[in-house]
Amino acid sequence: MRTDLAASYGEERLPRYTSYPTAPHFSPEIGADTYSRWLSELPSGASASLYLHVPFCREMCWYCGCHTQIVRRDELVAAYQRTLLSEVTLVADTIGRRIKVEHIHFGGGTPTIMAPEAFAEVMAAMRQAFFVLPSAEIAVEIDPRTLTAEMVEAMRLSGVNRASLGVQSFDPLVQRAINRVQSYEQTASVVDMLRQAGIGGINFDLIYGLPHQTIASCLDTVRRSLELAPDRFSVFGYAHVPSFKRHQRMINEAHLPDGLARHDQACAIANALKEAGYVQIGLDHFARPDDAMAVAYEQGTLRRNFQGYTTDKGEVLLGFGASAIGHLPQGYVQNEVQIGAYQQSIAAGRLATAKGYGLTDDDRLRADIIERIMCEFGVDLGDICARHGAEPKEMLQSASRLKSLISDGVVRLDGDRLAVANDSRFLVRSVAAAFDAHLDPGKQLHSRAV
């Protein structure tokens, strides 16, 4: 990887392109009535994925970029869980039939903050409201510091088959600086519990660019993580946006690595994981060669959605909970972010949609181009444009940012086929951004490109 390019492009603030257009472009003009109509218009053969957002944690991790709040009283979580149950019923009734479900993902916050019996009740409600296929992937994000044996048993009985564990870093200095002290022993114990319960799909989340992090501490975290042999790794760069996430002000910016140091940390982690036999997938994922995600990457069927890279091929994502985002063929919808407003809407018997975005034909074309770039480090513009009734030449002419990327050797253009150079793949977001017709470089809405 070239450090000169990291210096040139690394400070740009760019989306991670888990959607296109991205969430800052959502508008309150798309509300509950629109979402209701979109749900009723879903084709009879459609299948869906479900995302359930649980916005509570026991304590705040200062690096966190999620919509979450600290809660000590379990009755607040119980009340929220009851609202989730009502929303599941409301959405299913609006669709009007039991739609097939291939993927379920519990995110947060800390989804396992729910009582075990409450979690089981939510899963049972989803199976009643939707036709959850026997082969469905059911994944839960986990904070290893708070997971109990009772919750693991509830997950097992509910059919959970994948767990994503937040690790971030095993360096005690880094952990104290981000207010997340989590021992290796805690993490290892949770991995053992999950595997004994038959929950075999294990993901680890790591972060680089944190305060006090060094290449040495990153590699030590990788080494210790490899001892626990997860199936997948997600490796994210810390996004420091204290103007949007006030708790990040607790992090001393003087202790954050600069762009070049972040670049070196990312390279070191990627190289260590590849040397250990993991396949690098897209921008920030790694998987064992026989893992379904690695197979999808090799076959060109990898997708990207709000959970990052995925094997999910569905065109419908139904979001439940405060701030949850859904994706339908017609566009995007997002629930009320504030928990109180979300609960009031559902209690009144109406969908909690606060904003969204109706897709145009041009959006769909650009979304397909950006997704292939993010998933495959390249795109056949001729093929995609032909499917959308567009001209590759016009699309290239509209991508003015491509000129400098081509001249700097980041991108190769062979006819209508665009490819990101192997030593420049860490800049894939910069290449995708060349096709983003909505991007405003002057607004600091996103994380750094490196």
**Per residue in 353-365, pLDDT tens?**
999 999 999 999 9
Query: In this predicted structure, what is the pLDDT of residue 446?
Result: 52
* CA dist 200 → 74, 139, 156, 203, 376 (Å): 29, 11, 11, 10, 27
How far apart are the C-alpha atoms of 341 and 355, rounded to whole Å?
A: 13
Handedness of CA 145, 151, 153, 156 (dihedral sign): negative
Cβ of 348: how many Cβ atoms within 10 Å?
9
Q: According to the annotation, is 121 in a ligand binding site?
A: no
Q: According to the annotation, is 180 in a ligand binding site?
A: yes
Q: According to the annotation, is 378 in a ligand binding site?
A: no
Residue that the structure tokens 């109706």 belong to: 358
Distance of CA 302 to the CA centre of its chain: 14
Q: According to the annotation, is 108 in a ligand binding site?
A: yes
What DSSP letter does each residue of 219-232 carry, written as one string? HHHHHHHHTT--SE
Q: According to the annotation, is 65 in a ligand binding site?
A: yes
Distance of CA 215 to the CA centre of its chain: 25
Picking from 296, 425, 424, 343, the residue whose alpha carbon sits closest to that of residue 2 is 424
Q: Mention the CATH class of domain 1-22+361-450.
A: mainly alpha
Q: According to the annotation, is 385 in a ligand binding site?
A: no
pLDDT tens for 389-414 read 999 999 999 998 899 999 999 999 99
Query: In this predicted structure, what is the pLDDT of residue 316?
Result: 96
Query: In this predicted structure, what is the pLDDT of residue 279?
Result: 96
Handedness of CA 431, 434, 438, 441 (dihedral sign): positive
- Residue 292 clears pLDDT 70, i.e. is over it: yes
- Residue 445 clears pLDDT 60, i.e. is over it: no
Query: In this predicted structure, what is the pLDDT of residue 244?
Result: 82
Task: Output 398-403 pairs: Cβ under 8 A, ≥24 positions apart.
Answer: 398/435, 398/437, 399/434, 399/435, 400/434, 401/430, 401/433, 401/434, 402/431, 402/434
How far apart are the C-alpha atoms of 144 and 181, rounded to whole Å?
A: 11
pLDDT tens for 324-343 read 999 999 999 999 999 999 99
Q: According to the annotation, is 61 in a ligand binding site?
A: yes
Average pLDDT over residues 85-114: 96
In the chain, list all ranges with CATH 3.80.30.20: 23-325
Average pLDDT over residues 75-87: 98
In the chain, list all ranges with CATH 1.10.10.920: 1-22+361-450
How far apart are the C-alpha atoms of 92 and 102, rounded to whole Å?
A: 15
441 band by pLDDT with thresholds 50, 70 and 90: low
9 band by pLDDT with thresholds 50, 70 and 90: confident
Domain 23-325 has CATH 3.90.1150.10: no
Query: In this predicted structure, what is the pLDDT of residue 443?
Result: 56
Q: According to the annotation, is 34 in a ligand binding site?
A: no
Decide the pairing of beta strands 316-320 and 47-54: parallel
2 band by pLDDT with thresholds 50, 70 and 90: low
Give 450's DSSP letter. -
Q: According to the annotation, is 110 in a ligand binding site?
A: yes
Query: In this predicted structure, what is the pLDDT of residue 130?
Result: 97
Q: According to the annotation, is 107 in a ligand binding site?
A: no
pLDDT tens for 17-54 read 999 999 999 999 999 999 999 999 999 889 999 999 99
Average pLDDT over residues 164-179: 97
Q: According to the annotation, is 63 in a ligand binding site?
A: yes
- Residue 321 clears pLDDT 90, i.e. is over it: yes
Query: In this predicted structure, what is the pLDDT of residue 44?
Result: 87
The residues near 179 (Cβ < 8 Å, ≥ 6 apart) are 59, 60, 61, 62, 250
Q: According to the annotation, is 64 in a ligand binding site?
A: yes
Residue that the structure tokens 């979450």 belong to: 68
Decide the pairing of beta strands 201-208 and 162-168: parallel
Query: 243: helix, coil or strand?
Result: coil
How far apart are the C-alpha atoms of 167 and 175, rounded to whole Å?
A: 10
How far apart are the C-alpha atoms of 39 and 374, rounded to whole Å?
A: 28
Residues pairing with 356 in the sheet = 27, 333
> Which amino acid, one-letter code, is at 177?
A
The residues near 204 (Cβ < 8 Å, ≥ 6 apart) are 164, 165, 167, 225, 228, 230, 232, 233, 234
Instruction: Give me the phi and psi of 196, to 5 degrees please.
Output: -65, -30
